[in-house]
Amino acid sequence: MRNLLNLKTMVVSTIAMTSLMFSLTATSVENEVATLRDQTKIIEQQKPNLIPKVVNKDIKQGRNYPMQPPIIPHTIRSYEVNKYNNKCMSCHSRQLTEESQAPMVSVTHYMNRDGNFLAEISPRRYFCNQCHVTQLDTKELVENTFIDMHTMMKQKPSKASQH
Amino acid sequence: MTMKRLLILTWQTLTKPSGYYSLGFLVMGGFIAGIIFWGGFNTALEVTNTEEFCISCHEMENNVYQELKTTIHFTNRSGVRATCPDCHVPHKWTDKIARKMQASKEVWAMLFGTIDTREKFLAHRRQLAQNEWTRLKANDSLECRNCHNFDYMDFTEQSERAANQHSGALASGEKTCIDCHKGIAHQLPDMKGVEGW
């Protein structure tokens, strides 16, 4: 009788434990992973967002700070920049800007780290897209609170005068 | 000896008038057989002119086809796409036959594994690309123009830079499509020494 009772409690507790574990893992997976996937359940496929268009106006855009690498104002779809080729340089290199009327890459890009000028673009500046990017015609994903230093300098005296 | 006798017998049979069959039967029979043979030939030719046929060789499937898949000629907003023969085989019959005869060399290369690895393919890439550039330059980018008709290009729909190039160098015939649009459907080889690079 006692053995039977033991067996019964064991079975019940095992079932309880497994169901608890299942519910625990299920909820944790759903909650944690789903948040990363924008509240979409793991078994569901989220509808992808629309892909915004690349700004292709060919008009120079201002720089937010002096050291900002200029942004690319045109599409660069399937422009190859790899160990064989650099498509960007077929317009922006020193020899080809006359024909293309594109801005020449800064002369610093021809300098090696010792400050000597090379005939070709320096290997350390070779991969254009490490710094230069295109812009998308879309809303900002997060709010941008960046303030240009000139704007900041203009604000300062007006604030001081208030006090 | 028997071979020679057989050849002589065949020749004599062919040069003598038929003793059994009527002229009408021979003419009609020849006509029908002609249709069947010509149809068969053309069907076989068209089979070799499909993308499935091209990528049945791993050289094509693993290299150029994979590269094509990422480009606008494979997938785009309107769903019009170019398959291998659209760009690589002339559409006019005589030119097509000429290209197909050239392609027999490619069968040879396939049998002997000239480009059967990625490394070998990359080593040959410049030469392979050069062949296509030369062909397109010589025929004024005919295969591009089969779809992209200059007369119906709307420059106002193009970006300013593109419109300038197309209404200038292209319109005057100074340049043809392939002069600027290299590597639009496949990756480029090492472009050292190529004009404009």
A44 with A19, same domain?
yes
**Banded pLDDT at A41 (limits 50, 70, 90):** confident
Separation between Cα atoms, residue B136 and residue B178, nearest integer Å: 7
Structure-model confidence comparison of residues A25 and B54, the more confident one: B54
> Domain for residue A15, yes or no?
yes
Tell me whether residues B183 and A96 touch, CB distance under 8 A. no
A67 with A6, same domain?
no
Q: Which of B129, B45, B51 is nearest to B83 (CA)?
A: B51
Contact A73, A82 (CB under 8 A): no
Which region among A26-40, B88-102, B103-117, B161-175 has the lowest average model confidence (pLDDT)? A26-40
Separation between Cα atoms, residue A1 and residue A19, nearest integer Å: 27
**pTM of the complete model:** 0.73
Provide the residue range defining the domain that includes A26: 1-48
pLDDT at A152: 87
A56 with A132, same domain?
yes
Q: Which of B92, B93, B102, B81 is nearest to B142 (CA)?
A: B92
Structure-model confidence comparison of residues B28 and A39, the more confident one: B28
A4 with A74, same domain?
no
Separation between Cα atoms, residue B41 and residue B35, nearest integer Å: 10
pLDDT at A78: 87
Tell me whether residues B188 and A80 touch, CB distance under 8 A. yes
Looking at the complex, does the CB of residue B161 fall below 8 Å from at least one CB of chain A? yes
- The angle formed by the CA atoms of residues A117, A121 and A126, to the nearest 5 degrees, is 135
> Domain for residue A85, yes or no?
yes
Q: At what angle do helices B93-102 and B104-111 cross, to 10 degrees?
A: 30
**Banded pLDDT at A3 (limits 50, 70, 90):** low
Burial class of residue B57 (count of CB atoms within 10 Å of its CB; 0-12, 13-18, 19+): middle
- Torsional sign, CA A55, A60, A63, A66: positive
Looking at the complex, does the CB of residue B164 fall below 8 Å from at least one CB of chain A? no
Tell me whether residues B196 and A90 touch, CB distance under 8 A. yes
What secondary structure letter does DSSP report for B159? -
Mean pLDDT value across residues B100-116: 90
A117 with A104, same domain?
yes
Mean pLDDT value across residues B141-148: 92
Domain total of chain A: 2
Listed by number, the residues of chain B in 52-71 with a beta carbon closer than 8 Å to a beta carbon of chain A are 70-71
- Average per-residue pLDDT in chain A? 81
B87: CB partners within 8 A, 6+ apart: B73, B143, B144, B185
pLDDT at A1: 46
A41 with A105, same domain?
no
A123 with A58, same domain?
yes
Separation between Cα atoms, residue B146 and residue B87, nearest integer Å: 9
Residue B66 has pLDDT above 90, yes or no: yes
A57 with A113, same domain?
yes
Q: Is B183 left (phi over 0), alpha (psi -120 to 50) or beta?
A: left
What is the nearest CA distance from A89 to chain B, expressed in angstroms? 7
Which region among A47-51, B21-25, B130-134 has the lowest average model confidence (pLDDT)? A47-51
- Name the strand (E) or helix (H) holding A157: helix A149-162
Contact A81, A73 (CB under 8 A): no
**From the centroid of its chain, how far is CA B37?**
23
Kindly list the domain boundaries of chain B, sorted by start residue: 26-180
**Banded pLDDT at A6 (limits 50, 70, 90):** low
A9 with A44, same domain?
yes
Mean pLDDT value across residues A101-110: 93
Separation between Cα atoms, residue B85 and residue B52, nearest integer Å: 11
A11 with A89, same domain?
no
Q: Which of A68, A47, A138, A99 is nearest to B169 (CA)?
A: A99
Other Cβ atoms less than 10 A from the Cβ of B84: the count is 19
Contact B81, B73 (CB under 8 A): yes
Residue B32 has pLDDT above 80, yes or no: yes
A67 with A115, same domain?
yes
Separation between Cα atoms, residue A65 and residue A149, nearest integer Å: 7
Mean pLDDT value across residues B115-139: 93
Mutation target for B interface from A57, A78, A87, A96: give the one with most B CBs within 10 A.
A78
* CATH number reported for the structural domain that contains residue A133 in this entry: 1.10.1130.10
| Residue A148 tokens, joined | 């240009």
**Banded pLDDT at A35 (limits 50, 70, 90):** low
Separation between Cα atoms, residue B21 and residue B19, nearest integer Å: 6
Q: Which residues of A touch B190 (CB under 8 A)?
A: 84-85
- A57, A74, A90 member nearest B197 (Cβ): A90
The CATH class for the domain spanning B26-180 reads mainly alpha
A94 with A132, same domain?
yes
Residue A26 has pLDDT above 80, yes or no: no
